[in-house]
Amino acid sequence: MIERMGHRATAPPRYAGLVNRLVTSATNYKLAMVSDLGAALAFFAFGLHQFVGARTVAGGVTLLGFLSFGFLEYAVHRWILHGPHSVARRGHAHHHAEPTALVATPLFIIVVASLAIWKLLSLACPAGHAALLVFGLYAGYNYFALFHHWEHHHRPNVACGAYWRRLDGLHHVHHQRPGVNFGISTTIWDRVFGTFQPVSETTHNVALERHRMAR
């Protein structure tokens, strides 16, 4: 997930303390996963109910949203969480310092952002199309959030596909070299923007050893 937003230096102490407690709460972390899944399904149901047209078009709109999330993930990670000094950047630094800590965006933030995106899209296309596009984006976000959780909390000997093991290794490279491998669920945009860094055997072994020690 897009981690921890809040820091004493840029917000009133009371507000910063409240935000810090919320984003580092295990309850918030778990509820956010449930609420994001529920919100995605709500967009899906609403989209199907409002959509007028061929099913292939509905599927294409949903797929477009899902594929578009890869760029959104890359852009937020690179240009906001690793961008200019901000509350979000300082919060993300906490994740780099403690990769296994249960930190997450306040559970209502992604829901509100998705509703705002849907409202804007509805100005340019039918509500059903907009809802399915947002569902695709939300599906991409949920995939990212679950996969990112797995990357930092799985046991190294858990069986998984070669593709996911490779992405896991690339993300550990990012934690060692924060200027590369901003994509978590895909490498496409790192390759496009020249920030892709392959995994060396030594780097991957070091990452696995650190993960074992952290547990």
148-175 pLDDT, tens digit per residue, is 999 888 865 555 788 888 999 999 999 9
Report the pLDDT value the prediction gives residue 12, as an integer from 0 to 100.
Answer: 47
Is the pLDDT at 44 greater than 50? The verdict is yes
Residues 177, 199 contacting (CB under 8 angstroms) = no
Q: What is the pLDDT of residues 60-106, one digit of tens each?
A: 999 999 999 999 999 999 999 899 987 777 778 878 888 888 878 87
Q: What is the pLDDT of residue 104?
A: 81
**pTM (two decimals):** 0.83
CB neighbour list of residue 131: distance below 8 Å, 6 or more residues apart: 43, 44, 46, 47, 50, 51, 118
Nearest to 105 by CA among 29, 41, 8: 29
Model pLDDT, residue 129: 97
Residues 80/153, Cβ–Cβ less than 8 Å: no
3-state SS, one letter per residue, for the chain:
CCCCCCCHHHCCHHHHHHHHHHHCCHHHHHHHHHHHHHHHHHHHHHHHHHCCCCHHHHHHHHHHHHHHHHHHHHHHHHHHHCCCCCHHHHHHHHHHHCCCCCCCCCHHHHHHHHHHHHHHHHCCCCHHHHHHHHHHHHHHHHHHHHHHHHHHHCCCCCCCCHHHHHHHHHHHHHHHCCCCCCCCCCCHHHHHHCCCCCCCHHHHHHHHHHHHHHC
Residue 114: the pLDDT is 96
Q: Tell me the domain boundaries of the chain.
A: 8-154
Mean pLDDT of the chain: 84
Cα-flanking dihedrals φ and ψ of residue 210, to 5°? -65, -40
91 close to 79: Cβ distance less than 8 angstroms? no
As given in the structure block, the two tokens for residue 119 are 């409202």
> Comparing 71 with 29, which gets the higher pLDDT?
71
CA 104 – CA 91 distance, rounded (Å): 10
Alpha-carbon separation of residue 190 from 33, 70, 82, 171 (angstroms): 26, 10, 14, 12
Alpha-carbon distance 126 to 120, whole Å? Answer: 11
